[in-house]
Amino acid sequence: MLKKQRPSCRVSFLHHQHLIHYPVFNSKSSGQVVTSDPLQFSNFKKKQSLASPDIAHSAKIVGPQRLTPQKGQQPNLVSLASVQFENWGESTMAETSPRTDTSTDVDTDDKNQRFEAGQSAMVVASDSSDRSKDKTGDQKTLRRLAQNREAARKSRLRKKAYVQQLESSRLKLTQLEQELQRARQQGIFISSSGDQAHSMSGNGALAFDIEYARWLEEQNRQVNELRAAVNSHASDNELRVIVDGIMAHYDDIFRLKGIAAKADVFHMLSGMWKTPAERCFLWLGGFRSSELLKLLISHLEPLAEQQLVGICNLQQSSQQAEDALSQGMEALQQSLAETLASGSLGPSGSTGNVANYMGQMAMAMGKLGTLEGFLRQADNLRQQTLQQMHRILTTRQAARALLAINDYFSRLRALSSLWLARPRD
């Protein structure tokens, strides 16, 4: 009786790769033996132990099962065993004690089922030496094998579903935690002070976050509309309408950012309203125009000579402007640090001269006030870069540019989600 080769053989080796050699039993009792693969098992006398002392308990081997018993042979204990058990570490032969299952793939359910089935199969097998009995025995065991496989498969599916559920729950949990943290930050303002001014500034950050989320949704909708139009070969006029709409939409967010910066400049500078990966590239509260243009240059070809020059110049100008603003920010940081460090620090501390301390603080406060100016300049830079780009390019090119920009940021946001949901040990 030929056993079919099991299609889903898995052979996995661990570091110490033990090839398992099973003894070829004497020809008196055994029939043909497949010898090409050391992993294959030969027939053996029913009473003989399969387990060779070589079995590495940590190796998971599924032997291929092309076994060819001959007539009148004792049943293929080996084939039963090997087809049945995926994990050789778990030796279930009568003579050997089952070992610890080191596989993480195998559910306990599986193991037990197989173990039991193995035992009964063995019992069945070893009972019969008669051919007819063999047949029924084999049929029973065949059925049992099938049931086993089915059970194992179901178990694996259940486990997979469970794990997926866990992962999505974890993602949800992280998102909720973030929201909670943000809300708490604002919530503290709101709850602890009935003062209008305070609660306004507290709400400033939260309000912006909400506005931004809404803006993003609308942005996606417009971009999808643009993409559909481009793919359906819409006319230039149609494209222009959509492109103009998107440009105006960009103006909206810059306006909103300006308002929010007055309320809470640190929130805007922190970029907490963006996703983590976006924040990685944060420059003065937003994206770097020069980088965006670099990205576009490669995606916008072919460009007319004049346009290429225009875009390259724009990229260079924005880079120079960014550098200038960055240096201004550094000067601000330095100045602030010097202000706070002036006078005596340490044990004598600020108790020394209250007037000095207050003067220091007043100066530092003044310097902090300039932060909003920098943020505004940075946003102006971003806004005007987009506008200049729009001016230099044709409608069709501008459409492609806007799609490219949106795709890039979408990927960055998707990356953030993936990162937050990544499995961790």
Partner 1 sequence: MERVLRLGSQKAAVIFSTSSCCMCHAIKRLFCELGVNPAIYELDEDSKGREMEKALISLLGRGPSVPAVFIGGKLIGSTDNVMSLHLSGHLIPKLKEAGAIWL
Q: What is the rounded CA–CA span in Å between residue 224 and residue 216?
A: 12
Binding residue (CB under 8 A) for partner 1 from 373, 418, 419, 422: 373
Which residue's CB is nearer to partner 1, number 38 or number 366?
Answer: 366
First to last CA, the chain: 47
* Residue 335 interacting with partner 1 (CB under 8 A): yes
Q: For partner 1, how many residues bind (rule: CB under 8 A)? A: 26
* Residue 175 interacting with partner 1 (CB under 8 A): no
What does each C-alpha distance from 83 to 5, 47, 152, 261 come to in angstroms? 9, 19, 13, 68
* Residue 250 interacting with partner 1 (CB under 8 A): no
Q: What is the rounded CA–CA span in Å between residue 320 and residue 314?
A: 10
Binding residue (CB under 8 A) for partner 1 from 12, 323, 356, 407: 323
| From 3-11, 202-210, 308-316, 399-407, span contacting partner 1 (CB under 8 A) | 308-316
* Residue 359 interacting with partner 1 (CB under 8 A): no
Element at 61 (helix H, strand E): strand 60-61
Q: What is the rounded CA–CA span in Å between residue 225 and residue 232?
A: 11
| Residues 6+ positions from 51 with CB-CB distance below 8 Å | 91, 93, 95, 96
Omega within 30 of 0 (cis) for the link into 302? yes
Which residue's CB is nearer to partner 1, number 61 or number 293?
Answer: 293
Binding residue (CB under 8 A) for partner 1 from 248, 331, 337, 368: 331
Binding residue (CB under 8 A) for partner 1 from 22, 287, 374, 409: 374
Which residue's CB is nearer to partner 1, number 222 or number 385?
Answer: 385
| From 5-13, 27-35, 102-110, 315-323, span contacting partner 1 (CB under 8 A) | 315-323
Residue 302 CB neighbours (<10 A): 7
| From 38-46, 49-57, 231-239, 329-337, span contacting partner 1 (CB under 8 A) | 329-337
* Residue 360 interacting with partner 1 (CB under 8 A): no
Q: How far is the CB of 183 from partner 1 (least distance, A)?
A: 34
| Amino acid sitting at position 235 | S
Which residue's CB is nearer to partner 1, number 185 or number 370?
Answer: 370
Binding residue (CB under 8 A) for partner 1 from 29, 155, 270, 377: 377
Which residue has tokens 């603080």? 361
Q: How far is the CB of 385 from partner 1 (least distance, A)?
A: 6
Residue 264 CB neighbours (<10 A): 22
- Among candidates 309, 292, 304, 294, which has minimal Cα distance to 397? 304
Which residue's CB is nearer to partner 1, number 213 or number 324?
Answer: 324
* Residue 327 interacting with partner 1 (CB under 8 A): yes
- Among candidates 90, 130, 136, 124, which has minimal Cα distance to 110? 90
Give me 23's structure tokens.
Answer: 């003894």
Q: What is the rounded CA–CA span in Å between residue 393 and residue 97?
A: 77
* Residue 304 interacting with partner 1 (CB under 8 A): no
* Residue 369 interacting with partner 1 (CB under 8 A): no
Q: How far is the CB of 330 from partner 1 (least distance, A)?
A: 9
Give how far the C-alpha of residue 144 lies from the chain's centroid of Cα atoms, to the nearest Å: 40
- Among candidates 132, 134, 41, 136, which has minimal Cα distance to 83? 41
Which residues partner with 347 through β-bridges?
A: none
Binding residue (CB under 8 A) for partner 1 from 321, 393, 398, 412: 321
| Amino acid sitting at position 199 | S
CA 309, 310, 313, 319 torsion: positive or negative?
A: negative
Q: How far is the CB of 253 from partner 1 (least distance, A)?
A: 19
Which residues partner with 283 through β-bridges?
A: 286
Binding residue (CB under 8 A) for partner 1 from 145, 246, 329, 399: 329
Helix (H, G, I), strand (E, B) or coil at 58: coil
Which residue's CB is nearer to partner 1, number 245 or number 310?
Answer: 310
| From 6-14, 140-148, 257-265, 379-387, span contacting partner 1 (CB under 8 A) | 379-387
Element at 155 (helix H, strand E): helix 131-192
| From 185-193, 231-239, 299-307, 373-381, span contacting partner 1 (CB under 8 A) | 373-381
Q: How far is the CB of 405 from partner 1 (least distance, A)?
A: 17
* Residue 120 interacting with partner 1 (CB under 8 A): no
Which residue's CB is nearer to partner 1, number 119 or number 370?
Answer: 370
Q: What is the rounded CA–CA span in Å between residue 146 and residue 150?
A: 6
Interface positions with partner 1 (CB under 8 A): 310, 313-314, 317-318, 320-321, 323-325, 327-329, 331-332, 335, 367, 370, 373-374, 377, 380-381, 384-385, 388
